[in-house]
Copies of this chain bind each other. A is one copy, B any other.
């Protein structure tokens, strides 16, 4: 924000690089060698900060979850209607796509399940629970303030919406075509007014 540029510490630089790589290449698509080159240290040095790749992955997913949690909080602070909060959420997932080159970390990790440590899977579960809970409150509000049409059960709306957002990201990234994301989301957005 308005702050002076801080010298980024190595640990944070590693997390940043790993997140970028994982979100664009998939969990199996990045290596210690890639990270080392990107950050500018030798790959052996990475183990000083993260003993294993599993530990790194858990840290990534944890940081990502807390980041989205505060993004949701900020949406709540900025917008007051269900409609506006839903639009903001759709915008967050749109931005995460980065023009069809990147996925939400949760989507990226979910797909590579075979290579994931159980602790990472636990973090993924926490992430979805957090999102589902928050999205349900958005529909709850949209129902009561009348800015989202035809809301029956907010909890089921949340489940459908999260799947829709994640599925639309997957399709749009596969063909690097943002129009696929917009088309998949358009009927949901039509329900706001």
| Residues of chain A at the chain B interface (Cβ within 8 Å) | 24-26, 28-29, 103, 107-108, 110-115, 121, 124-125, 128, 150, 152-153, 155-157, 159-160, 162-168, 170-171, 173-175, 180, 183-188, 190
- Ordered by A's residue number, 6 sampled pairs between the chains whose C-beta atoms are within 8 Å are A25-B114, A26-B111, A26-B114, A153-B187, A163-B184, A170-B170
**Which residues of chain B come closer than 8 Å to A180, judged between CB atoms?**
159
Q: Name the residue among A115, A125, A159 with the largest chain B CB count within 10 angstroms.
A: A159
Docked complex Cα distance between A167 and B25 (Å): 19
11 additional contacts (CB under 8 A) given A159-B168, A159-B183, A163-B164: A26-B115, A103-B111, A107-B111, A108-B111, A110-B173, A124-B174, A150-B150, A153-B187, A156-B186, A162-B167, A170-B170
Q: Is the pair B171, A110 in contact by a Cβ cutoff of 8 Å?
A: yes
Docked complex Cα distance between A180 and B159 (Å): 8
Chain B residue with Cβ nearest A177: B125
Chain B residue with Cβ nearest A29: B114
Q: Is the pair A110, B164 in contact by a Cβ cutoff of 8 Å?
A: no
Docked complex Cα distance between A187 and B191 (Å): 14
**A112 contacts which of B112, B155, B168, B188 (Cβ < 8 Å)?**
B112
Docked complex Cα distance between A185 and B161 (Å): 10
Q: Is the pair A168, B167 in contact by a Cβ cutoff of 8 Å?
A: yes
**A164 contacts which of B25, B113, B164, B173 (Cβ < 8 Å)?**
B164
Q: Is the pair A171, B160 in contact by a Cβ cutoff of 8 Å?
A: no
**A114 contacts which of B24, B128, B156 (Cβ < 8 Å)?**
B24
How far in angstroms is the closest Cβ of chain B from A21? Answer: 9
How far in angstroms is the closest Cβ of chain B from A165? Answer: 7
Q: Is the pair B175, A171 in contact by a Cβ cutoff of 8 Å?
A: no
Chain B residue with Cβ nearest A101: B113
**Which residues of chain B come closer than 8 Å to A121, judged between CB atoms?**
174-175
